[in-house]
Amino acid sequence: MTTRRFPFFLALIIGLAGMLTACGGGASGTERPAPEPRYELIVTTKDWSGWLPQDAPQPGPQTARLTVRPQASLTVSTVSGPLTLTIAEVREDSVVIESDTPLAAQSTSGSEWSVGDQTRRWEIREGGEIRAITPTLDGGTELRMTLEPLADGGQR
């Protein structure tokens, strides 16, 4: 009698294990593929100095591009040293960017810099622009960040 039950229980255990694997019982069965990137972050930096005579040429702008994916990062040079920008979140209609160093925001009027108002986290929408500077008064780097659709429509 025990000889007949053993193959039944063995078949039952193997069958249940196969069902769990096929049904995605593990964490990998519930993961969704990462969405195709739709945006490109364009960062333009321009160094400036209050120590140069007004008619002296300032250094020219530098532009870097980053295909927007969660946790993708880009390091740019500033007068204060390297600055790393990381894509913290990719939302339906915007992207959240974090910097490893606080930056001063441009005032809402766009004519002044608010050196006392510093942040490490920025949200930008498609076609939008963020302007910020390294928080110094006598020289620094101005950053202009824009979010544009990928030229190939996200087919990278």
CB 154 within 8 A of CB 91: no
Other beta carbons within 10 Å of 93: 6
**Is residue 81 domain-shared with residue 11, that is, in the same domain?**
no
Instruction: State the residue range of the domain holding 63.
Output: 39-149
Q: Is the pLDDT reported for residue 50 higher than 80?
A: no
**Is residue 50 domain-shared with residue 93, that is, in the same domain?**
yes
DSSP type of residue 31: P
Chain centre distance of CA 19:
39
56-60, 69-73, 109-113, range with the lowest pLDDT: 109-113
Structural domain total, the chain: 2
The pTM (predicted TM-score) of the whole model is 0.70
Q: How far apart are CA 58 and CA 153, in angstroms?
A: 36
Question: What average pLDDT does range 100-120 have in this prediction?
Answer: 75
